[in-house]
Amino acid sequence: MSIKPFKCLPLALLVLGCASPGAFAQPAAGIGEKLHAEALASFNQARFPEAYGRFSGLADAGHAPAAAMALWMYLNGTSVFGKDWDSSPQQLAAWAKLAGQPVPVMVGRTYPQPATVVARQGR
């Protein structure tokens, strides 16, 4: 049984790519733009959690336009979307740097406790 030339090439590239620290730092231009277009489509279709996940993933990979959008969604989460988006201070700093914006300060929020119903036991 012989192994065809280049049959194992994708696996070898994957292994070599995982060993390189900066291998996934920047998405390929064509792939990054396609994924960004998909994130924008999610946003335009009001699938905001999906859009935020896509933008933040691209931003983490070094895509500047996605970083600007993820940062905007994070900063306006409660006022525009009624949600707090998850992010770390490191992510926010990296996104702000990519987008050329000041690093936002994370602020803790408190939320009102929902009213609890106490069942009355019959006598």
Task: Phi first, then psi: give them for residue 48, nearest 5 degrees.
Answer: -65, -45
pTM of the model: 0.65
- Segment 11-40, tens digit of pLDDT: 333 333 433 334 444 555 577 889 999 999
- Segment 47-69, tens digit of pLDDT: 999 999 999 999 999 999 999 99
Tokens of 72: 């905007």
- Which letter, b or e, does each residue of 65-75 get, where b requires 16 or more Cβ atoms within 10 Å of its Cβ? bbbbbbbebbb
